[in-house]
């Protein structure tokens, strides 16, 4: 049995392994040196945190009531902020990915603005909008008696404000990669656009929604600037873990390091959960 021309008369079976290009394993020195310097720059602070951690007194540091109150409040508010981001952010991502309307690029830019906006500026903006004398806050106070600043609900609002863009970007990218013909097929069978989204599109983009929700939750958990500006730093009511770290750093550095280790462990867990989506090299 003869093979195809150019195969040497034989038949190849199985998959052929791709050989790396010559020189692919050797990095040029002008790139290797700054690359190693960048690696050290990023890893040295984390290594210092681990080396200087008070491991012997860590159970005592993490066992105080203040720490558990801050951790409980952080978990509750971050989860609530993620829920708000899902309810508002997924439809917003669908609007940006699936519809055409004037000013869509401007809307997308405004949606992503909290990503680059200094968090303290975001907190000031929230005060001007939702404060007791704010643009919408005065109406909320007079009509419903709702006051958001310096409350636990205010923490949720501040965290959702900075975390929602992460979910919108993730879901919009997933929607753009999804094949719209499935929605069109559902429409030809008589399904409304909302039914097609709920029964067809949403299951298709579920991994992207989950990844965006995890990112939003992690961002909400670590939020500091907008929270302390809009909600304050009141133990048991608005003091989240990052605020507790900041307060402990002034009075008890060992407690600040212990709290930082908790947030570091959460960050590592988030990266581990997302490694199959963003951390795997092609």
pLDDT at 63: 76
- Span 149-176, pLDDT tens digits: 999 999 999 999 999 999 999 999 998 8
pLDDT value at position 1?
A: 47
Q: What's the rounded mean pLDDT across residues 42-47?
A: 91
SS3 string of the chain? CCCCCCCCCCCCCCCCCCCCCCCCCCCCHHHHHHHHHHHHHHHHHHHHHHHCCCCCCHHHHHCCHHHHHHHHHHHHHHHHHHHHHHHHHHHHHHHHHHCCCCCHHHHHHHHHHHHHCCHHHHHHHHHHHHCCCCCCHHHHHHHHCCCCCCCHHHHHHHHHHHHHHHHHHHHHHHHHHCCCHHHHHHHHCCCCHHHHHHHHHHHHCHHHHHHHHHHHHHHHHCCCHHHHHHCCCCCCCCCCHHHHHHHHHHHCHHHHHHHHHHHHHHHHHHHHHCHHHHHCCC
Residue 186 has pLDDT above 90, yes or no: no
Report pLDDT digits (tens) over 229-262: 999 999 889 999 999 999 888 888 888 888 888 8
Residue 114, pLDDT > 70, answer yes
Architecture of the CATH domain 73-238: Orthogonal Bundle (1.10)
Mean pLDDT of 3-26: 53
Domains of the chain: which residue ranges?
73-238
């Amino acid at each position: 049995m003869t093979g195809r021309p150019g195969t040497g008369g034989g038949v190849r079976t199985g998959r052929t392994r791709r050989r790396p290009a010559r020189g692919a394993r050797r990095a040029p020195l002008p790139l290797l040196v700054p690359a190693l310097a960048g690696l050290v720059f990023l890893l040295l602070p984390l290594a210092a945190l681990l080396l200087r951690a008070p491991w012997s007194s860590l159970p005592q540091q993490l066992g105080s009531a203040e720490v558990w109150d801050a951790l409980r409040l952080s978990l509750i508010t971050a989860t609530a902020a993620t829920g708000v981001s899902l309810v508002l952010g997924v439809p917003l991502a669908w609007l940006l990915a699936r519809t055409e309307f004037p000013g869509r690029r401007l809307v997308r830019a405004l949606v992503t603005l909290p990503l680059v906006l200094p968090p303290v500026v975001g907190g000031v903006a929230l005060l001007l909008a939702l404060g007791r004398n704010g643009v919408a806050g005065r109406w909320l106070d007079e009509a419903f008696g709702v006051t958001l600043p310096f409350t636990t609900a205010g923490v949720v609002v501040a965290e959702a404000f900075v975390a929602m863009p992460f979910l919108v970007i993730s879901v919009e990218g997933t929607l753009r990669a999804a094949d719209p013909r499935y929605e069109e097929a559902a429409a030809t069978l008589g399904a409304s656009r909302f039914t097609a989204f709920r029964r067809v599109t949403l299951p298709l983009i579920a991994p992207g929604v989950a990844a965006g929700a995890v990112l939003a939750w992690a961002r909400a958990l670590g939020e500091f600037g907008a929270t302390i500006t809009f909600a304050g730093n009141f133990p048991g009511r608005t003091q989240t873990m990052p605020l507790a770290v900041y307060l402990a750093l002034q009075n008890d550095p060992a407690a600040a390091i212990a709290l930082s280790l908790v947030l570091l462990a959460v960050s590592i867990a988030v990266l581990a959960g997302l490694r199959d989506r963003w951390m795997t090299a092609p």
